[in-house]
Amino acid sequence: MTFIAGHPTLFLVGVPFALFLGMLVMLEAGRRLGRRRLAADPESAKEGMGPVEGSVFGLLGLLVAFTFAGAASRFDTRRDMVVQEANVIGDAWARLDTLPPDTQPAIKDGMRRYVEARLETYRLIPDIVAVRKELRRSVEIQDEIWRGAVAACADPRGQRVTMLVLPALDAAFDMTTIRTQKALHHPPLIIFLLLFVLALASALIAGHGMAGGKKRNWLSMAGYAAATAIAVYAILDLEFPRIGLVRLDSEDRMLVEVLDSMK
């Protein structure tokens, strides 16, 4: 998955387009192969093809359904985690009011910068290098906030709220790691390769079945290839939100609202 993480846009757009072209080639190859068999042995050219067609197309349909359902589930999880992060950050911010008044300004300033860094991280996608740099900056701000909060809680005036403030900050900071890991959670590359190979194999078989016609049915050929490529694009778009048509921008507004409440 290293290539996918480093070149998400190329992977998202290139794979469906390459699949579309590859399926057109395989449809034509299957048609030519079928016509040769028909010319050589008209009576038994399609003998035994039924079980093969059923198994390949069935397996392709099952794999498309499996990967689409998994991608949709992971997308829902990522969307829910945006809401969770906004909630835990808002909760941590509210609890900072219980710290000694003279210790609050520096810690609250750090929290504002932390939320700005989190929003900037998502805005920079798919620039992986910039995203990683911003993630490192957010972790540095975390350390700064944590040190300030621990020092404030060590003050005799803040000791009574230690268990109120520190766990809330810890929960807010944990979301950075959790969301980062969830963003990188995708099916093994072998699943995508298998989907690609099965789509090409199904195109070869479909082309073989079109061998009986005297002329190419371009509408059927292009339609089948396009439908499969679009399905694969939808799967990849759900797997890599923020890059294609599927976005999490509406959920990010919750973090923007949290940031606005801090000013």
User: Which stretches of 127-217 are DSSP H helices?
Assistant: 128-154, 162-183, 189-209
pLDDT digits (tens, 9 = 90+) for 59-117: 999 999 999 999 999 999 988 988 899 999 999 999 999 898 898 999 999 999 999 99
State residue 47's pLDDT score: 58
CB burial readout 225-263, b (16+ within 10 A) else e: beebbebbbbbbbbbbbbbbebebeebbebbeebbeebe
8 preceded by cis ω (within 30°)?
no
CB 239 within 8 A of CB 186: yes
Task: Find out whether 100 and 158 touch, Cβ atoms under 8 Å.
Answer: yes
- Residue 150 makes CB contacts below 8 A (sequence gap 6+) with 166
pLDDT tens-digit series, residues 193-208: 999 999 999 999 888 7
